[in-house]
Structure formats: C-alpha cells, structure tokens
C-alpha cells in the first residue's frame, strides 16, 4: 500500500517534469518566433533591396563605372580579412604603377565643345569663291590684284539616297544569210535570280535592318518616298532568301572558327511567332560564338528553339579548346564531353557586386565596394598585359593578379558566413563562390581573357535590333537573320565596312563554286575599309 507521503512525492515530481516540459516548450516557441522574426526581417530587407534596385534600374544611370576612391575604401572598410598593412602597400604599388603608366601614355581627350576634324579619307568637292571682277583692281592705282593665298573652310555634305533602275540589255545575234543559230549573251549571275533586287539593294536593306536596326516596314516607307513601292513582305522574302544563300559561306566561317584556340559563347532570347508545335509567346534563343586571331575573327549567330545543353554540343562539335562563357550551366555537357577548358567571366561577377553597391545606404562603403576595388585591380593588370604575348601575360598575372585573387578568396570565405544568402550582396558572394574555379582559370593560361565581353559586344547589335523589330515570324526567318548578322558582325570584327563587304559577297557568291568560298572570307578580301 502506497503512503500519502509517497503519493505527494510522486505528484511533486510529476509537476516538476510538467513545468520543465512547459518551460522547454516555451523556449522552443521563443526560438521559433525569433527564427521567424529573423526570416521576416531578411525577407523584408531582400524586398527592400529589390525595390531599390528596381528604382535604380529604372531611373538611375545605366553605367557600371566604379567611382569610389581607393583611399576611402582602405580607410572605411573595417572588415578586410587580409593584413591591412600588406593591403595598403599593394594599393600604393598599384597607384604608383597607374600614375607611371598615365605619364607614359597620356589620355587623349577632346576639349569640351570642340569640333572634330572631318575625316581626311572622305572625298572633297571644291567650290571656289571669287571676288567680283570689278573689285579685283587696287583702289589706289588700278593695278590688277594677284592671288596671294587662300582661306579654306570645310562643311560636311550629304547626298541623299537615289533609287534607280539598271537595265541589263542582252543583244541577240543571228546569221543574216541562213537565219539560224541565234545567240545571246548569258544573263549576269544574281544572288536571287527570280527577283529584281540587285546585290547593292540587298546589301543596303540588310545593313539598314541588321546593323542599323531599321525595321523593314520603315524601309518600305523610305523607298516609297523615293518613288519605289516595295512592300514589306517583299523585303522580308528577299532577306530570308539572301540568308539561305549564305549557308555555304557560313559553314566555311564555322570551319575556321572551330580551329581557334579559344571561343567565346553567349545566348539571348528571341520570339518566333509561327513555329510548329509551339505557342507564339514561346521563348527561343539566338546563340553566338566568337573566336579567331586578330584580323581573322569569326562571329557566328545560330538560331535554336532551345537553351538546353544539346545546343552547345551541336554548335561546337568535337571542339576541345578553351571556352569562355557566363555562369549558365548549359555549357557543362559539352565541356565534360569534349574535355574543354572552361573559363568564367569576371564582368558578370562584377555586375552582381555593382547591384549590391546600389542598394547600400547612401554615402557608406561596405563589402561590395571592397570586392569591386579588387576586381578593378585585376582589370588594371590586364590593361598592362594587353599587348604582351601569352607567356609574358601569364608571368605578369603570376606576379600581380595571383596575390589579388588570394586576398579575394580569403575575404570571400569570411564574408560568406556574415551575409544573408538571399540578400543582393549574398547572391553576389554565392555567384562568386560557385564560379570561382572558372573565374580563376585565367591565372594558369595566358590565352584566357578576364571576361566574356567580346561575345557580349558582338551580340549587343542583335539585342538593340530586337527592340525595334521585336520578333521573327518563322524559324526560317530567324535562321536567315542569324546568317546575315554573322556576316555583318564578322566584317565589323575585322575592320570592314559591313555594307561594302555584303555587297562584295552578294555580287561574287553566285559565280563561285563551293571550292572557292574561302576567297569570300573577310581577311581574304583586299578592299578593306575601316568601320
């Protein structure tokens, strides 16, 4: 039988356990509330950053130039993970080298409001202005005045476009005696045999649309003002057919590209309205490749409905050299399959820190500023190494860039534990961490550049044009656009006038066999003109 004292003891023990359990539950709830509050605060901060960044994108300057003074960073940055004295010494060395470089090569700046001289290569038409005959005698003694010099001023003059018709007259010959064997001169070779468009007209239309971003409906209106009624659908058909005729030359350029030791790649969106088994609003892609030595650059555009990894596999074939891209993982399959050396883009990493800098409190510096300053130093080294051979460039990087990368890595490891992952700065840090291996590959190979800007610069005209003509109607139209964009941007990359080069290609291609296509490559064309 249990005594009352024992019963009381058990009850107290149970109560104590219940109290402890309730206290633990209350503590757990407090911790959960604190966690939720921290998550809410982080979400609020992330939304506020997104709002500020959206305002900055809408109304702020689009430039990414970094204007914070380096000295301010070294004074105000309180969380540098490396030794401050060593960092200050590195900064002083960089400043001294930049000052010396500036003294050796002063920047050429035009005086504000000054007038540039007219290009000397432009043709000149002289208009001589004479004194009236009755004023060419001395007012004192009547002696005839003599020319002692000239005052010359120049003005820029434009001759408006003139539309004209070229009549090809092919004379027929026959024997007057037997009236047999009528002969006629063969017709001239034409890019589009069944059309009345000359090579010059086709080159003009293509340059206006694909280089100058002038939509075809506006070109149709311009031609109408000059007395030539050319419907927009006719212009579109000409461009599609011209692009299709360029296919053999594009393949010749592709063979040359795939021999390059390094290729840049990028992709951007495109809408194609009438594509089988796809909605008109579906997103397609224009892919870009660029590579080759200076003077033999190739820029190729390729249309594909997909952004999947199979597209780079198709475009690169068995290429096994160096590939520079942004952080998109769609290139991983071809890199793994072909054993490609894959390098990243510091411009993309830098851009994310620029966004983080924009959402900082006004007038304050922080981690984003420090990262941008380190990246600026990397680009300063690349500026010094620009004219060097690959071996010398790599030696300079070992000396100057590698210590900067080591400092940046130490700082990154520390900062990752201090910043919320979903914040703008956190996303910049995690992008840098995820791309680190690709971003640092340039240290071991003097051929690898610091960024993918050559590809971005080549794809920009397409992006600008897309804002005007908005979409392609059919896949064949997108593929034709890719071919013409390829020729135009390849011409520009090699210092040629796109219009002059297209005119040459459109005139020459119809009379060539496939074995002679290499004569149409831009660096084989002798009549090169500066852009």
- Structure confidence by residue, pLDDT tens digits, 406-464: 999 999 999 999 888 888 888 999 999 999 999 999 999 999 999 999 999 999 988 88
Each residue's pLDDT tens digit, 233-251: 999 999 999 999 999 999 9
- Gap between the Cα atoms of 255 and 319, Å rounded: 11
Task: Give CA–CA dist 266/289, Å, rounded.
Answer: 7
Residue 32, pLDDT above cutoff 60: yes
Res 112: pLDDT: 54
User: Per residue in 102-124, is it b (16+ CB within 10 Å) or e — as a string?
Assistant: eeeeeeeeeeeeeeeeeeeeeee
Run of H or E residues at 501 = helix 498-508
d(CA 295, CA 265): 19
Inform me whether the pLDDT recorded for 65 exceeds 80: no
Per-residue pLDDT averaged across 128-139, rounded? 86
Mean pLDDT across the chain: 83
CA angle 64/66/70 to nearest 5° reads 165
69: pLDDT confidence band, cut at 50, 70 and 90? very low
Please give the distance of CA 275 from its chain centroid, rounded to a whole number: 27
β-strand partners of 270: 284
Encoding tokens for residue 497?
A: 């006038």
Q: What is the pLDDT of residue 6?
A: 52
Give, as one character, the DSSP assignment of residue 161. Answer: -
Q: For residue 504, name the pLDDT band (cuts at 50, 70, 90).
A: very high
Label residue 68 by pLDDT band (50, 70, 90).
very low
Domain chopping of the chain, boundaries: 346-451
pLDDT, mean of residues 43-60: 67
Given this model, what pLDDT does residue 275 score? 78
Identify the helix (H) or strand (E) that includes residue 299.
strand 298-304
What is the C-alpha to C-alpha distance for residues 54 and 335, in angstroms, rounded to an integer? Answer: 35
Quickly tell me which residue has 């700065």 as its tokens. Answer: 425
Q: Is the pLDDT higher at 100 or at 272?
A: 272
């Amino acid at each position: 039988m249990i005594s009352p004292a024992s019963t009381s003891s058990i009850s107290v023990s149970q109560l104590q356990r219940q109290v402890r359990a309730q206290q633990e539950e209350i503590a757990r709830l407090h911790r959960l509330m604190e966690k939720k509050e921290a998550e809410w605060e982080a979400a609020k901060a992330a939304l506020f950053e997104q709002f500020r960044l959206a305002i900055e994108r809408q109304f702020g300057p689009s430039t990414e130039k970094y204007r914070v003074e380096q000295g301010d960073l070294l004074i105000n940055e309180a969380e540098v993970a490396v030794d401050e004295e060593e960092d200050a010494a590195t900064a002083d060395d960089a400043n001294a080298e930049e000052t010396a470089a500036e003294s050796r090569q002063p920047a050429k700046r035009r005086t504000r409001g000054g007038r540039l001289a007219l290009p000397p290569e432009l043709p000149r038409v002289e208009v001589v202005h004479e004194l009236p005959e009755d004023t060419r005698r001395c007012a004192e003694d009547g002696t005839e005045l003599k020319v002692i010099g000239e005052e010359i001023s120049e003005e820029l003059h434009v001759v408006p476009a003139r539309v004209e018709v070229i009549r090809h007259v092919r004379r027929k010959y026959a024997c007057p005696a037997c009236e047999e064997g009528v002969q006629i001169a063969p017709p001239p070779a034409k890019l589009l045999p069944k059309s009345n468009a000359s090579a010059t007209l086709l080159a003009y239309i293509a340059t206006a649309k694909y280089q100058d971003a002038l939509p075809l409906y506006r070109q149709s209106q311009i031609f109408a003002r000059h007395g030539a009624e050319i419907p927009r659908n006719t212009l579109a058909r000409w461009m599609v057919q011209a692009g299709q005729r360029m296919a053999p030359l594009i393949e010749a350029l592709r063979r040359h590209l795939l021999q390059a030791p390094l290729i840049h790649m990028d992709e951007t969106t495109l809408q194609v309205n009438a594509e089988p088994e796809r909605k008109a609003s579906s997103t397609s892609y224009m892919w870009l490749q660029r590579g080759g030595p200076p003077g033999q650059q190739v820029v190729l555009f390729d249309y594909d409905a997909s952004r999947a990894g199979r597209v780079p596999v198709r475009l690169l074939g068995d290429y096994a050299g160096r590939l520079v891209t942004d952080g998109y993982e769609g290139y991983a399959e071809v890199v793994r399959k072909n054993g490609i050396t894959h390098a990243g883009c510091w411009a993309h990493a830098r851009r994310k820190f620029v966004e983080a800098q924009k959402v900082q409190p006004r007038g304050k510096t922080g981690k984003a500023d420090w990262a941008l300053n380190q990246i600026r130093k990397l680009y300063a080294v690349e500026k010094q190494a620009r004219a060097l051979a690959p071996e010398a460039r790599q030696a300079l990087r070992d000396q100057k860039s590698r210590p900067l990368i080591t400092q940046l890595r130490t700082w990154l490891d520390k900062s990752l534990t201090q910043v919320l992952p979903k914040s703008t700065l956190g996303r910049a840090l995690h992008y840098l961490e995820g791309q680190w291996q690709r971003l640092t590959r340039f240290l071991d190979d003097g051929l690898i550049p610091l960024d993918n800007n050559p590809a971005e610069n080549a794809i920009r005209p397409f992006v600008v044009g897309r804002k005007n003509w908005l979409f392609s109607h059919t896949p064949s139209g997108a593929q034709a656009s890719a071919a013409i964009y390829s020729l135009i941007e390849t011409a520009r990359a090699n210092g040629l006038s796109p219009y002059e080069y297209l005119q040459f290609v459109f005139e020459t291609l119809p009379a060539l066999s496939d074995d002679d296509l290499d004569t149409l490559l831009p660096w084989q064309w002798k009549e090169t003109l500066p852009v």
